[in-house]
Structure 1
Amino acid sequence: MQTLAGFARKYAIMEELDGGFSAGSTPEAFVRLDSWEGRIQASLHVKGLKQGPYTYKLYLIFAKNEKLIPLLAGSMSVSYSGLQNGLEIDAETMKDHGLKPEMVRFAAITAESKDKKWVPLFSSFEKNYKWDESIRQLLLRKPAGETAQKEESAPQNYTVERPSAKVAEEQPVAAEEKPMAQQSIAPQEERRPEAYNIPAAAPAPQPRAVPDNQFNRCDINKLEGMLQNNFESYAPFKRSNRSYIWYRVSDLAKLSNIMYMSGINVPVFANPKILVGLFKFKHILAGLYRGDNGSNYYVIGVPAKDEKDNKPFENACRWVPVSDSPIRDMGGYWLVYVSLKSGDIVV
């Protein structure tokens, strides 16, 4: 968990658990938890879950003295394809149960219909802890924080059950995703990898070279060492540019902490489109550019389908295509440059 002055953040990619809820592709979700002052706010991006007579809900499951306690964060929509915010467990609820944000261990998305409940998606925030059927039994009870509904008759206990064939037939299933060959993708202009250079608005070249870190606000040597020790070196472009070093990143919390310790305080990861890029393509790029004139830049690469897709910043990023990408539906990266001299995003 990334912790900065009372603020903490966790990420997890949720994977399919109970089947029968696919809208044509394997369901999955990306969840981000932000906590401060004893409260937790969840942001969620879901794809592949079908609509139907289900109410989808997000639960966070906490570990207190090795006892698991599920709390309801809120109901969610599967028809909205963007990042969903507003799912929250307030500080008072946390305090009432004797819980702290750092105690969260699992996240679960449930599908509920009448007196039945399933768990289509699940994730663990700690690698040492996996799914166990005892977690299902906790969720089948009325979890803490969930408002009891008034019913004329006595409520029945939840039962563990898969969606029946009859229920499945009644649900409108979204059209299956088209194969790559059938999808309408804007043709990319073939450009040499050397095209990813410093943006035109970058500071003008100095008459003589400046040693690393002299006059720089951010420590490029420290940053490079930490990136090298924590992430895999990567060659995203077929023809490399010697001025660049790239790393493949899947842990945003770790990368954000490295940026903070290196003096890069630009809140780029507050941009939901960067999170969407990570969620869709399971990685982003972190890179360094060393200019011959001493102008050094930290670079974030956000993967996207094409130059019309998921642009993170309107005027502060540039599109670089990747030919013959091994990653399905990924056509290139949006590159965002941060000056290591000023610590600001270059526009």
Structure 2
Amino acid sequence: MQVGFARKYAIMEELDGGFSAGSMPEAFVRLDSWEGRIQASIHVKGLKQGPFKYVLYLIFVRNDKLIPILLGTVNTSYSGMQSGLEIEAETLRNNNLKPDSVRFAALTAESQNKKWIPLFASFEKSHKWDESIRQVILMSSREEEKPKTPEPDISYTGNTTDSQIIQPAIKEETVDTPPLSDITADNTPQPDSINYSSLIYQDAYSPKSNYEKKKTKRENTSNKQCDIGKLEGLLMNNFETHIPFNRSSRGYSWYRVSDLAKLSNIMYMSGINVPLFANPKILVGLFKFKHILAGLYRGGNGSEYYVIGVPAKNEKDNKPFDNACRWAPIQDTSIRDMGGYWLVYVSLKSGEIVV
């Protein structure tokens, strides 16, 4: 595991009008930081082409002063996730900045010495847009040292002609899952710092026999890609236990998640390295319905899976992976326009998405 690894997400929304290609423009930006550097990945849609150069900036805070740093140009004609935009550790040191001091992201449109901000995002809910941010970007010194800005390195799996999102490695495997139906809504937990303890205490289970059974199943994990014991402990200690389906499904344990960065770090610490959250449709589900599901499934044949549930309106809406997810409808939900979840299964033995 890389020391000091951290990940942040933000959904960029329209700020300056006039750049729409028909639908409302939006973008998803993900920041990975380690060893003092930052690498950004971005998925943009709905921005029109033209005589504009689109440029991504990160805005940091230092002693209550905003410092914009240029990441690089963004190719809006590409429909997938773009990566390879970096701020080197030396650049941050030269500006007396740390990776965790990033506060905003701005995608600018530049033409003939003019600059607009079609898309903007805040990484902190307590900090919103104000015009002083625009002035900071516009007045940033041209002589200020800029990071290296290579052309975007497009990450994809599959055909370049029709692939719109990153597709993690997918393995065909039969998952013996019981039927799912009917959701029970509850309150969304508030984001918080990670509880790094993965210990599961006996009084967390009732009755005692259930605890002993789960403890036995976790004892031998030497041949597995992921540490299910650590994963289960971190999920239990950081998220609220949830019962999304009115009829209890044997073998499942569910948690309701509203902090995607925290969940991503927990997955990383537990050995789950499938780039699920590079898929923008998972972020769309979180943005629209304020949560996703994270869960564990233990099959009757001893198989074990990590499961992500992506909320959607219906089985024709926001399907994250074409052939590697299954629709689980719900009824009587208090969440408006939500008809169920797309379930994505990751084998804890192979570490791959299964069909």
Are the aligned partners of 1:284 and 1:303 in contact in 2 as well (CA < 8 Å)? yes
Cα separation, 1, equivalents of 2:261 and 2:29: 12
Cα separation, 2, equivalents of 1:331 and 1:60: 36
Identity %: 53
How many angstroms does 1:234 deviate by?
6.0
Cα separation, 1, equivalents of 2:37 and 2:105: 16
Q: Which residue of 2 aligns with 1:21?
A: 19
Please state if 1:298 is matched with 2:306.
yes
Please state if 1:320 is matched with 2:327.
yes
Matched length: 277
- Residue 321 (structure 2) aligned to one of 305, 311, 314: 311
How many angstroms does 1:334 deviate by?
4.5
Are the aligned partners of 1:233 and 1:247 in contact in 2 as well (CA < 8 Å)? yes
With normalisation by structure 2, the TM-score equals 0.65
How many angstroms does 1:80 deviate by?
0.9
How many angstroms does 1:32 deviate by?
0.7
- Residue 43 (structure 2) aligned to one of 42, 45, 60: 45
Cα separation, 2, equivalents of 1:327 and 1:84: 32
Cα separation, 2, equivalents of 1:346 and 1:19: 39
How many angstroms does 1:39 deviate by?
1.5
Indicate how the Cα distance of structure 1 residues 145 and 323 shifts in structure 2: closer, same or farther if over 3 A, else same. farther
Please state if 1:281 is matched with 2:275.
no
Are the aligned partners of 2:235 and 2:255 in contact in 1 as well (CA < 8 Å)? no
Deviations 1:306-341 (A, max 9, x none): 6996438x8xx44335489988899862521343xx
Indicate how the Cα distance of structure 1 residues 232 and 112 shifts in structure 2: closer, same or farther if over 3 A, else same. farther
Q: Which amino acid aligns with 2:25?
A: P
Q: Which residue of 1 aligns with 2:200?
A: none
Please state if 1:336 is matched with 2:345.
yes
How many angstroms does 1:133 deviate by?
0.9
Indicate how the Cα distance of structure 1 residues 322 and 114 shifts in structure 2: closer, same or farther if over 3 A, else same. farther
Q: Which amino acid aligns with 2:283?
A: F
Q: Which is further off, 319-328 or 244-253?
A: 319-328
With normalisation by structure 1, the TM-score equals 0.66
Cα separation, 2, equivalents of 1:331 and 1:80: 30
SS in structure 2 at match of 1:212:
helix
In the alignment, structure 1 segments of 5+ residues that lack a partner are: 148-192, 197-208
* Counterpart mapping for 1:203-214 below 5 A: 211-214=213-216
Cα separation, 1, equivalents of 2:61 and 2:74: 24
Cα separation, 2, equivalents of 1:329 and 1:46: 25
Are the aligned partners of 1:211 and 1:294 in contact in 2 as well (CA < 8 Å)? no
Q: Which amino acid aligns with 2:344?
A: L
CA RMSD of aligned residues (A): 3.7
Cα separation, 2, equivalents of 1:301 and 1:32: 20
Q: Which residue of 2 aligns with 1:241?
A: 249
Indicate how the Cα distance of structure 1 residues 333 and 70 shifts in structure 2: closer, same or farther if over 3 A, else same. same
SS in structure 1 at match of 2:264:
helix
How many angstroms does 1:73 deviate by?
0.2
Q: Which amino acid aligns with 2:271?
A: N
Deviations 1:105-145 (A, max 9, x none): 11111111112211111111122222121110011124544
* Counterpart mapping for 1:79-98 below 5 A: 79-98=77-96
Cα separation, 1, equivalents of 2:240 and 2:118: 31
Q: Which amino acid aligns with 2:273?
A: P
Cα separation, 1, equivalents of 2:306 and 2:267: 10
Indicate how the Cα distance of structure 1 residues 308 and 232 shifts in structure 2: closer, same or farther if over 3 A, else same. closer
Cα separation, 1, equivalents of 2:145 and 2:338: 40
Q: Which residue of 2 aligns with 1:266?
A: 272
In the alignment, structure 2 segments of 5+ residues that lack a partner are: 148-176, 181-209, 222-227
How many angstroms does 1:69 deviate by?
0.7
* Counterpart mapping for 1:23-172 below 5 A: 23-143=21-141, 144-146=144-146
Q: Which residue of 1 aligns with 2:237?
A: 226
How many angstroms does 1:37 deviate by?
2.1
Are the aligned partners of 2:330 and 2:339 in contact in 1 as well (CA < 8 Å)? no
